[in-house]
Structure 1
Amino acid sequence: MNDVLEKISDCIVNMEESSIENLIEKALNCDDINIDDIYSKGLNSGMNKAIELFENKEYYIPEVIVCADTLNKGLEVLRAYGKINKKSKGKVVFAVVKGDTHEIGKNIVKIMLEAAGYEVIDLGVNIDNKDIIDSAIKEEAQVIAVSSMMTTTMTEMKILIEQLNSINIKNKPYVIIGGGCITKNYAVEIGADGYSENAPKAVKLVARLIEEGKDDFIRVYK
């Protein structure tokens, strides 16, 4: 059993998109392997290894994206055979701020978060702050993630945080920010709970906030 699941995991790490379908079908024909095993011990395990390689500077963003593409192809095959009962690690509401329609970066981060086991509610681009906050409250999300590629729209992030802080709600979600024009210093300035310069680091940031909370801004950025 472990052999075919390990091969699926390695397939993700090695970016072997052409092989993933055959391996999953082989695993499905094993009596002692179920769909959830293939997802958690094969696909998800491989994606986590790819993210670790990025953290160790052995992989870069292009490699991680291809790993994610391989994983998504595997998920498509797996879903055709039944429902994947994966347990969500947490919920993230994601949006590009009002006035900005750049979504490539958001989409990459979304793929990484979902691959790591988080549920992502993708609101899209050019989203009003009220809609972002309302969605986070309705979905009981632990994290709000917003991005901006333009200096003319980045101020929406500051307004979002101010509006969220003005509401008395239980279990207020963390707010993390990112995008081409965003810096760590800006995140500190507007009181964001975190900042990430790329998708794999965003996954690590979400994990730290959800699993450990935020008691020290500097620690969050290590």
Structure 2
Amino acid sequence: MKTGKKRSPEEIAAELYPADPTERKIAEAVFNGDEDKVIKCLKEAIESGFDPLYLIDKGLLPGMSIVSLLYDENMLYLPDIIMASNAMNDGIEYCKERSSKMPELKGKVVSYVVEGDIHDIGKKIVTVLLIAKGFEVVDLGKDVPVNEVIDSVKREDPIMLTGTALITMARYSFREVNDRLIEEGLRIPFLCGGGGVNRDFVSGLELGVYCEDGACVPKIAEEILNGATIGELRNKYVFLSV
């Protein structure tokens, strides 16, 4: 009995690229993590009359969305998503420098790694996935003091805050951030994830929404834009391996 040949990520991606040749070349360069080719394709497209912001929306983001999709399907891995994100980010900066207006984004998210923890792979994945879905991300970095997190939320007015922790002891910074947000009247969803936390711990935070898998973060952000409350998010994701 013959079995069908398993398709490679490249073969699947080829079916998902934009139909327009110019947009396709940009998306393919992002997928391959080829930063030099991304810039080359963008330069050629802009010189031929394409709007830089159009190229972000129709070339760069679709390329990253394909990477995210195949990563969710376990067909691509962390190095792939990091290389693609670097290529996409370079392309976004190139386009923004050549445009007289800023791209319209869905909403703003503040993201960080808790104070006392320098492990930021999870945060990087979350950042990439959010950007690929059209969100603006304010990345505070790793080992971020509580005061800096609160000041950023005040300044940026995000739709949600995301924090990651790999070290178990560092997770208690989440509780301090949660309490400070409430004290300041900043009642926004506070997504907490990483190997240092579990669902039981996060459920004890009034603003906390547990997130086991970074792939779920853009979905939660979309739901927030559609009016989902913290309570609704907590109820929906409490039993899911998100």
Deviations 1:72-114 (A, max 9, x none): 2323443453456211211122222233333343344334333
Aligned match of 1:205: 220
Return the alpha-carbon distance in structure 2 between the equivalents of residues 73 and 134 of structure 1. 28
1:40 aligned residue: 57
Q: What runs of 5+ residues in structure 1 fail to find an aligned partner?
A: none
1:62-73 counterparts in 2 under 5 A? 62-73=79-90
Between the aligned partners of 1:128 and 1:25, the Cα distance in structure 2 is 40
1:183 to 180, 193, 198: 198
Q: Is the 8 A contact 2:178 2:208 kept in 1?
A: no
Residues 16/135 of structure 1: CA separation in 2 closer, same or farther (3 Å cut): closer
- Relative to the length of structure 2, the TM-score reads 0.76
- Residue equivalent to 2:234: 217
Residue 138 of structure 1 pairs with residue 138 of structure 2: no
Gaps of 5+ in 2: 1-18
- Report the secondary structure of 1:177's partner residue: strand
State the 1:53 CA deviation: 2.2
1:129-168 superposed matches below 5 A = 129-168=146-185
CA deviation after TM superposition for structure 1 residue 143, in Å: 0.9
Query: Given the alignment, which residue of 39, 42, 50 partners 1:24?
Result: 42
Aligned match for 1:89, one of 74, 93, 106 = 106
- 1:100/1:149 contact within 8 Å kept: yes
Checking the alignment, whether the CA contact within 8 Å between 2:96 and 2:102 is kept in structure 1 is no
Runs of 4+ off more than 6 Å: none
1:195 aligned onto 2:210: yes
- Number of residues of Structure 1 aligned to a counterpart in Structure 2: 219
Output the CA distance in 2 between the equivalents of 1:77 and 1:51. Answer: 22
Equivalences for residues 79-118 of structure 1 within 5 A = 79-83=96-100, 85-118=102-135
Q: Aligned pair in 2 of structure 1 residues 125, 68: CA closer, same or farther (>3 Å)?
A: closer
**What is the TM-score normalised by the length of structure 1?**
0.82
Identity %: 24
State how far apart, in whole Å, the 2-side matches of 1:17 and 1:134 are: 34
The answer on 1:57 being equivalent to 2:74 is: yes
Contact 1:12/1:71, CA 8 A, preserved across alignment: yes
Which amino acid is 1:184 matched to?
R
> What per-residue deviation string (whole Å, max 9, x for no partner) do you get for residues 86-145 of structure 1?
112111222222333333433443343334322222333333334322321232111111
CA root-mean-square deviation: 2.7
In 2, distance between residues paired with 1:184 and 1:84? Answer: 42
